[in-house]
Structure 1
């Protein structure tokens, strides 16, 4: 396996497919790099070098007790790009991974970045506060934490069987394979790591990070996203990022990398080529 070790001793797994201009992929919670496989295959088959890592505590990376927060996630990504000496990358982040990309640019700048893409992404802030009245109540995230502690395996079946892919909508046709793949990736993650990450993706405020974006940015979001509602996410981010294009998938759920993969593959390839 391809791995490297961070400065604080965490072993990070990554995959590196294809040759050409670099595209990086940061995954969502509680998944791993495999969640991007359709997009990575498509772009690698069309002349790009595609790099994706398993976030610390997720997938095939090691499971540190501490450091399960956005600053460490962003620093791990920075160390991966340094390790591979990546230049002029197009960086895509899905959901929590969108927060990782935002915090990376906020902390490390865009010296290695040419473009960015936030896909169904959590920025600028998920949780409801006085300054963010459109966010979700803290009780929502407390409920996820309680479910994870009570029966993590069942929670990781319930989420993809329902709101993540929109399978709870009338007329939806759930795919057992998609649900099982989501469950498997979730269960590969560490118990403590995936628990801590709920706070990281829901309570981290990326407002100042987004204001530091100085590269062309693509925002893609479904307007029936029940996990990360579009108004407090992509539409709010579009008001903060100086040079962006917002693409709304009508009726689409959160998990568009699977449910709308052909459209997303085409959109990401076109953006990377532009």
Structure 2
């Protein structure tokens, strides 16, 4: 063996020792429970690592389910193109208050199957029904933001008796977003065509531009911009499937939820910021509240579309009051 080979061998040996030593030290620093979990993870015994249900078409829907099983359940429905992680601030808040909190990744989003079919509201609602059946939820409160608000409206309007106790729509897309003869105050179809074109051209950049700009109102003068929030939005969005996200633009913009809202019989709180640049206030929240049998409108002056993240103290307090009422 020549000198160069000997030197390389010696360096490799030192590196191997350092790596092994680092692993050993790291293991010593871990609590016993963490070590046990690591062993169980590798053997797939004893610990449930990820929670999924499988729908009739074979789609796997990821969900989080935290808190006492006998506590009041609150189910959170995320917006496009995000995941259940977008509700962490609300889930931790309500978990601390003693509630059972549940959130799922919509098909094609987050950790759920990257579907190329079924990316429309009827199937989204059917997936929620499958989840609530699997968990046997009764009298649950369903909270939906943006696209998730449309999902809540469609699901609650069709839910089995006893499954739903209350509903909340936050910055939600109902009654319908796109402009038409019936909805002259809506956004032009060209706006959503632009979304689709931007997604196809450069989804990664598009998913930075949206949170850095209108979603959280970071484009407003004097806004307190959080790079962490922007990157977390990007992280969630890029975890999902491009085809599902593309299809979902049509689902959230063109679906008419008028009949769903009229059918909902449970108390429903409609929360919306009047500086929402994604789902304009005037053509959404006030109209939805009027269509609901037991709707209550709460308007937030100057708050953006992503107010659950930018102003969780305000949103969480009002949600808690409604859940307790």
Global fold match (TM > 0.5): yes
In structure 1, what is the equivalent of residue 7 of structure 2? none
Aligned to 2:118: 67
How big is the shift at 1:194? Answer: 0.4
In the TM superposition, what whole-angstrom CA distance separates every residue of 1:159-195 from its partner, at most 9, and x where no partner exists? 0000000011111121000000000000001010000
Residue deviations 1:129-169 (CA, integer Å, cap 9, x gap): 00000100000000000000000000000000000000111
Moved more, 148-157 or 258-267: 258-267
| Structure possessing the higher radius of gyration over alpha carbons | 2
- Structure showing greater relative contact order (alpha-carbon pairs closer than 8 Å, 6 or more residues apart): 1
The alpha carbon displacement at 1:109 in A equals 5.0
Once the two structures are superposed, the pairs formed by residues 102-251 of structure 1 within 5 Å of their partners are: 102-108=153-159, 110-251=161-302
Task: Indicate yes or no: 2:309 matched with 1:254.
Answer: no
TM-score (normalised: structure 1):
0.99
- Give me the whole-angstrom Cα distance separating, in 2, the residues matched to 1:117 and 1:146: 32
Whether 1:15 aligns to 2:55 is: no
Distance 1:271 1:239 in 2: 18
Residue correspondences, number: 274
Deviation at 1:108, TM superposition (A): 2.9
- Cα distance in 2 for partners of 1:26, 1:74 equals 11
Task: Considering fraction of residues, name the structure with more helix.
Answer: 2
Moved more, 227-236 or 109-118: 109-118
Unpaired stretches in structure 2, ≥5 consecutive residues? 1-49
TM-score, normalization by structure 2: 0.83
Q: Deviations over 1:81-132 (max 9, x none)?
A: 0000000001100000000010112333553000000011000000000000
Residue 270 of structure 2 aligns to a residue whose secondary structure is strand
